Amino acid sequence: MLVRFWGTRGSLPVAPTPPAIRTKIARALVAADGRRFTDEQAAADFAETLDFATWGTYGGASSCVEIEGSSDGFVVCDMGSGLREFGIDSIRRIGAGHPRRYHMFLSHLHWDHIMGFPFFGPAFDPRNRITIYSGHADAEEALRRQQEEISFPVPFDYLAAQIDFVTLDTGDAHDIAGMKVSLILQQHAHDSYGYRFEQGGKSVVYSTDSEHKLEDMAVEEVFERFFHDGDLVICDTMYSLAESVTLKADWGHSSNLVAVDLCQGAGAKRLVLFHHEPTYSDEDIRRLHLETIRYEELNRHDRRPLEVLCAYDGFEVEV
């Protein structure tokens, strides 16, 4: 399986501001220390020697993650604003022979996780079939509501693709798109669901918009079992631990340190920090990533190492 991140921010999309870009350029020029480059490629090669927060960006699109590996079409988690770019790329791949079949899994129905669907190009093509899976029975209502005339100029019924809605339960594993798919109920307003995808002895867990209470360890044991031996766990790490238990308690999100605890307890192999706070700068996210790596090292004890990755728009991970 190959996991592609099309959108990694939480709550709402954000764009780099002119001051943020100016700071990146200034840092790069200072690091260059008078070097001269023969062409743009040489300059680009140098830029990639700098830290990621200087030469790149963690991105601004809201949640959308693709899991490639199915022979029965595309598999996508959440339909945030990153879905637009995924849609454009999927049309290119269809032109190269990829099946016209889309399997879309929703964690929940808040706007930042469905806002990309009105801009999803494949939904306008009658040759495509789209199945939207959710733990919520009101998923169709939510998607139709955001395209009502008061909110959006194109009504849902104008979409030409064959669109089906399937409500999944948490009690069983489901065979979908050549994968074994399981759900877990998560603590979030109007509920949220995490997904575990298994194929060929490999597993990917997608768990965003999930709050973990330190005082409720019985629930945490349930999540450790759900994450058990996961090859890749994509986890909501929107806040620092201090934020998650003080000012932003009961906001429905988790922290980087709790994600490490859960993954270490589960014996997971790799953790991806995800659903980045929209007010955080690239440098803030880079610092959080480094702090998380250090915490994992200090908290590892006799357990096997947990690799800590940090998602950004365009990031790809082979599983």
Give the DSSP per-residue string, 30-66: HHHTT---SSHHHHHHHHTTS-HHHH-----PBSEEE
| pLDDT above 80: residue 215 | no
Q: In what order do the strands lie in the sheet with 2-7?
A: 162-167, 129-134, 101-106, 74-77, 64-68, 2-7, 316-318
Phi, psi of 76 (to 5 degrees): -135, 135
Alpha carbons 237 and 234: distance in angstroms, whole number: 9
Rounded to an integer, what distance in angstroms lies between the CA atom of residue 178 and that of residue 119? Answer: 27
Average pLDDT on 195-215 reads: 91
Q: Which pLDDT score is estimated for 241?
A: 62
**Is 319 in contact with 196 (CB distance < 8 Å)?**
no
Q: What is the pLDDT of residues 274-294, one digit of tens each?
A: 999 999 999 999 999 999 999
Instruction: Compute the distance between CA of residue 207 and CA of residue 229 in angstroms, rounded to an integer.
Output: 15
Tell me the torsion sign for CA atoms 212, 214, 215, 216: positive
Can you list the alpha helix ranges (DSSP code H) found in 118-216? 139-145
Give this prediction's pTM.
Answer: 0.94
For residue 113, is pLDDT > 60?
Answer: yes
Quote the pLDDT of residue 240: 65
R_g of the chain, CA atoms, integer Å: 20
pLDDT band at residue 195 under the 50/70/90 scheme = very high
Q: What's the full length of the chain, in residues?
A: 319
pLDDT category, 189, cuts 50, 70, 90?
confident
CA torsion through residues 58, 308, 264, 260, sign: negative
Q: What is the pLDDT of residue 172?
A: 87
Across the range 195-208, mean pLDDT stands at 97
What is the spatial distance between Cα 128 and Cα 122, in angstroms, rounded to a whole number? 7
125: pLDDT confidence band, cut at 50, 70 and 90? very high
Q: Dihedrals φ, ψ of 128, to 5°?
A: -95, 150
Residues contacting residue 166 through CB under 8 Å, at least 6 positions apart: 131, 132, 133, 134
Q: Looking at the predicted structure, is the pLDDT value of residue 252 above 80?
A: no
- Residue 50 near residue 27, CB atoms below 8 Å: yes
Q: What is the mean pLDDT of the chain?
A: 93
Amino acid 218 reads A
Helix, coil or strand: residue 250: coil
Q: What is the mean pLDDT of residues 258-276?
A: 95
The pLDDT of 56-64, averaged and rounded, is 95
Question: Can you give the pLDDT at residue 254?
Answer: 82
CATH class of the domain whose range is 2-14+57-318: alpha beta
| 195 contact partners, CB below 8 Å, separation of at least 6 | 77, 105, 107, 181, 182, 183, 205, 206, 207
Instruction: For the chain, give percent helix, strand, coil, nearest 5.
Output: 35, 25, 40
The arithmetic mean of pLDDT across residues 249-269, rounded, is 86
Tell me the C-alpha distance between 58 and 117, whole Å.
22
Residue 253's pLDDT is 73
**pLDDT at position 45, please?**
96
List beta partners, residue 182: 196
- For the ranges 85-99, 108-122, 227-241, which has the lowest average pLDDT? 227-241
Phi, psi (deg, nearest 5) at residue 92: -60, -45
Give the residue-averaged pLDDT of 143-161. 97
Domain ranges across the chain: 2-14+57-318, 18-55
